[in-house]
């Protein structure tokens, strides 16, 4: 079976080193197996992800030499490749889950969901305790606000073996709780959209940062409910700033806007690959040249701090 990898960035700002490492790893992992790469723009939150940011991102990826076989400007039948244009597919998946009787409206406010008394998981996310699952039809009818929609999850352990991080499991009810499928403003949730899209686009291998490892059991549960074949999952450690924080779009010195002004694309990729363990030195190399030495076994499993000055001129 042909390997189909993908990049699925959210264009909420200019891409940074963490996003670039993600695209580079997805690209190398698929290309090394002779596979192809799909690019999907995860712009469900259209207010935060305006189209002009996506256009800059396409240009940045091209500048980096990370090409795609299918995606914006290369539609081979499973497009559109902007999630904001794929709502009919999410609607259809939601309908299937409704038919199974697993979807219910949730009227909880943000303040109620994030109250200090609510249980939280280790990554800080609140665990939904099922308040609205227990509402009667009459109680629902009395509510005055538009509801979000949640998926009722079973008290079951869901585990899988990650292609890089090894075995991971969690109990859907206890560690996560009933999760959102659609927000009260109508925006579909990442968990639903990512599953629908990866399946529809024939993705066989999902490469992404370990911050999404804990989303995977929820996604596997959705694959099962929707009768879709799940891809292989490969999570890699996160890049941290020199002072140990997770990179964000606010770290200007890690953003491509700043980096493009002082380094070539090969310098950026070579240094990232050095941090990722698959370039013996920080020597400048193109994505194609990095294919020769790429090996998941060399990539660390612990988060990676970017040494001060590594991406200086
Ligand atoms: N759109 C997500 C992000 O940019 C990635 C989702 C995924 O890879 O599953 O963080």
- The C-alpha atoms of residue 53 and residue 257 are separated, in whole angstroms, by 12
Residues framing ligand 1 (Cβ under 6 A)? 8-10, 42, 194, 208, 212
Q: Which of 249, 262, 285, 288 is catalytic?
A: 249
Mutation to probe ligand 1, out of 15, 20, 42 (largest number of atoms < 8 A from CB): 42
At 126 the pLDDT is 87
Contact (Cβ atoms closer than 8 angstroms) between residue 168 and residue 162: yes
Atom in ligand 1 nearest the alpha carbon of residue 194:
9
What is the reported pTM?
0.96
- Out of 68-77, 198-207, 235-244, 254-263, give the one with best mean pLDDT: 198-207
Find the 33 Cα to ligand 1 centroid distance in Å: 22
Q: What is the mean predicted confidence (pLDDT) over 78-96?
A: 98
Contact (Cβ atoms closer than 8 angstroms) between residue 229 and residue 198: no
Q: Is the pLDDT of residue 252 over 80?
A: no
Based on the residue annotation, tell me whether 249 is a catalytic residue of this protein: yes
Atom in ligand 1 nearest the alpha carbon of residue 209:
8
Find the 284 Cα to ligand 1 centroid distance in Å: 27
Q: What is the mean predicted confidence (pLDDT) over 141-168?
A: 96
Find the 302 Cα to ligand 1 centroid distance in Å: 20
Q: How confident is the model at residue 251 (pLDDT cuts 50, 70, 90)?
A: confident
Find the 139 Cα to ligand 1 centroid distance in Å: 36
Angle, nearest 10°, between helix axes 17-32 and 265-275? 80
At 234 the pLDDT is 98
Atom in ligand 1 nearest the alpha carbon of residue 42:
1
At 141 the pLDDT is 95
Q: Is the pLDDT of residue 294 over 90?
A: yes
At 67 the pLDDT is 97
At 248 the pLDDT is 79
Atom in ligand 1 nearest the alpha carbon of residue 19:
4
At 118 the pLDDT is 80
Token duo for residue 205: 């291998």
Q: What is the mean predicted confidence (pLDDT) over 130-158?
A: 95
| SS (HEC) of the chain | CCCEEEECCCCCCCCEHHHHHHHHHHHHHHHHCCCEEEECECCCCCCCCCHHHHHHHHHHHHHHCCCCCEECCECCCCCCCEHHHCHHHHHHHHHHHHHCCCEEEECCCHHHHCCCCCCECCCCCECECCHHHHCCHHHHHHCCCCCEEEECCCCCEEEEEECCCEEEEEEHHHHHECEEEECCCCCECHHHHHHHHHHHCCCCEEEEEHHHHHHHHHHHHHHHHHCCCCCEEEEECCEECCCCCECCCCCHHHEHHHHHHHCCHHHHHHHHHHHCCCCCCCCCCCHHHHHHHCCHHHCCCCCEECCCCCCCC
- The C-alpha atoms of residue 179 and residue 61 are separated, in whole angstroms, by 33
At 32 the pLDDT is 97
Summarised one tens digit per residue, pLDDT across range 204-223 is: 999 999 999 999 999 999 99
Find the 134 Cα to ligand 1 centroid distance in Å: 32
Give the residue whose CA is nearest to atom 4 of ligand 1.
Answer: 9
- 262 compared with 313, residue with greater pLDDT: 262
Q: What is the mean predicted confidence (pLDDT) over 117-131?
A: 86
C-alpha closest to that of 85 among 95, 75, 99: 75
Mutation to probe ligand 1, out of 212, 214, 239 (largest number of atoms < 8 A from CB): 212
Share of the chain above pLDDT 90, in %: 88
Question: Which residues are CB-neighbours of 282 under 8 A, at least 6 positions away?
Answer: 270, 271, 274, 310
At 71 the pLDDT is 97
At 5 the pLDDT is 98
Atom in ligand 1 nearest the alpha carbon of residue 207:
8
Question: Which residues are CB-neighbours of 43 under 8 A, at least 6 positions away?
Answer: 10, 11, 49, 51, 54, 82, 83, 84
At 121 the pLDDT is 84
Q: Is the pLDDT of residue 62 over 80?
A: yes
Mutation to probe ligand 1, out of 5, 7, 9, 17 (largest number of atoms < 8 A from CB): 9
Find the 60 Cα to ligand 1 centroid distance in Å: 17
Token duo for residue 140: 């629902």
Q: Is the pLDDT of residue 123 over 80?
A: no
Summarised one tens digit per residue, pLDDT across range 2-41 is: 999 999 999 999 999 999 999 999 999 999 999 999 999 9
């Amino acid at each position: 079976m042909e390997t189909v990898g993908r990049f699925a960035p959210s264009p909420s700002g200019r891409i940074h080193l963490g996003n670039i490492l993600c695209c580079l790893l997805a690209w190398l992992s698929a290309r090394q197996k002779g596979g192809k790469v799909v690019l999907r723009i995860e712009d469900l939150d259209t207010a935060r992800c305006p189209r002009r940011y996506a256009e800059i991102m396409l240009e940045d990826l091209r500048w980096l030499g990370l090409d795609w076989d299918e995606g914006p400007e290369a539609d081979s039948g499973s497009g559109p490749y902007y999630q904001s244009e794929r709502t009919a597919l999410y609607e259809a998946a939601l309908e299937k889950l409704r038919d199974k009787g697993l979807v219910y409206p949730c009227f909880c406010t943000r303040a109620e969901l994030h109250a200090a008394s609510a249980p939280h998981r280790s990554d800080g996310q609140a665990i939904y305790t099922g308040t609205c699952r227990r509402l009667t039809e009459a109680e629902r009818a009395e509510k005055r606000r538009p509801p979000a929609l949640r998926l009722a999850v079973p008290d079951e352990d869901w585990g899988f073996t990650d292609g890089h991080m090894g075995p991971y499991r969690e109990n859907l009810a206890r560690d996560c709780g009933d999760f959102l499928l659609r927000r009260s403003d109508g925006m579909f949730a990442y968990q639903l959209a990512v599953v629908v899209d990866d399946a529809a686009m024939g993705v066989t291998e999902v490469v992404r940062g370990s911050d999404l490892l804990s989303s995977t059991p929820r996604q596997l549960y959705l694959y099962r409910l929707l009768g879709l074949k799940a891809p292989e999952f490969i999570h890699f450690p996160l890049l941290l700033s020199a002072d140990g924080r997770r990179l964000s779009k606010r770290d200007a010195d890690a953003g491509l806007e700043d980096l493009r002004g002082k380094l070539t694309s090969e310098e950026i990729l070579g240094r990232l690959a050095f941090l990722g363990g698959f370039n013996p030195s920080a020597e400048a190399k193109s994505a194609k040249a990095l294919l020769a030495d790429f090996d998941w076994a060399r990539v660390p499993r612990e988060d990676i701090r970017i040494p001060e000055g590594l991406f200086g001129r």
